[in-house]
Amino acid sequence: MKYTINPCEACWKSYKNGDCGLNELNSCVVDVATAFTNAPSNNSMRGTLLETNWKECMENKMRELPTKAGKERNLCNLRLNLAPSWVDTPHYFPSLFHKTGDVSKAHEMCHKECEKDNLTMTCKKKCDRDRDAVSIKRVRFADSCFEKDKGVLEEPCTLENYNNPPCKIELALPILLILLLIAGITLCKYIRNKHE
C-alpha cells in the first residue's frame, strides 16, 4: 500500500479551514510532519516533500494576512522558519499505522492508547490530525514493480522513501527498448553491408 502525508491539509481541517494564526498553523504542520519521520525534529523535514508541503501551506496562509507596504506577504518579505517540534504528548498513530496498515484500526488503537496518557484530549487531537494527514494511494498492478498489493504497508514512510522511491521500473523499460532497437538496426545494417 502506498500513501502520502499531507500535514497542511490535516491542520487546515483541524482549524476549520485555517481559522488560526500563522504561528499556530506553522507549529501544527511541523508537529504532524515530524510525527511521521524517524526523529521528532524539524530538521528531519529539510529537503523533503514535507518541507515543500510546509512552504506551500505557509504561503497559502500568508495570502490571507494583511499586506505589508502594499505587497502580499510571502516567505521573502516575512521571514518565517520551520517551527520547533515539541514532544509534549506522544504521537501513537504513525507507529500504529505502520504496524497495522489500516487507517481506521490505527486511529481506534491510538485513541485507546491516549486513555492511558495524562493529556488525553491533546493526545486524541493528535491522533485525529495524524489520521487526517494520511492519504492512501491506489496503485495499478504494473505500478507496483510487478508485486501484488498485500494490503499491508510494504515499508514505513521515511525520509529516504520521499526522495528515493523503491521502484524505478517505469524509466528503465523505455530506455531498454530504445537500446534494443538501436542494437537491432545496427546489426541489420552490418549484416546487409556484409552481404553486399
Q: Give me the pLDDT at residue 124, please.
A: 92
* 83 DSSP assignment: P
Residue 80 has pLDDT above 60, yes or no: yes
Predicted confidence (pLDDT) at residue 17 exceeds the cutoff of 70: no
Element containing residue 152 per DSSP (H, E):
none
Q: State yes or no: pLDDT of 101 exceeds 60.
A: yes
- Give the percent of the chain with pLDDT over 70: 73
Distance CA(162)–CA(43), nearest Å, equals 15
Are 129 and 11 within 8 A, CB to CB? yes
End-to-end CA distance of the chain: 58
The pLDDT of residue 13 is: 87
Q: Residue 135: what are its φ and ψ, rounded to 5°?
A: -125, 115
For strands 134-137 and 2-5, give the pairing.
antiparallel
The pLDDT assigned to 130 comes to 92
Q: Select the more confidently predicted residue: 143 or 19.
A: 19
C-alpha cell at 134: 494520511
**What is the pTM for the complete model shown?**
0.63
Name the pLDDT band for 68 (thresholds 50, 70, 90): low
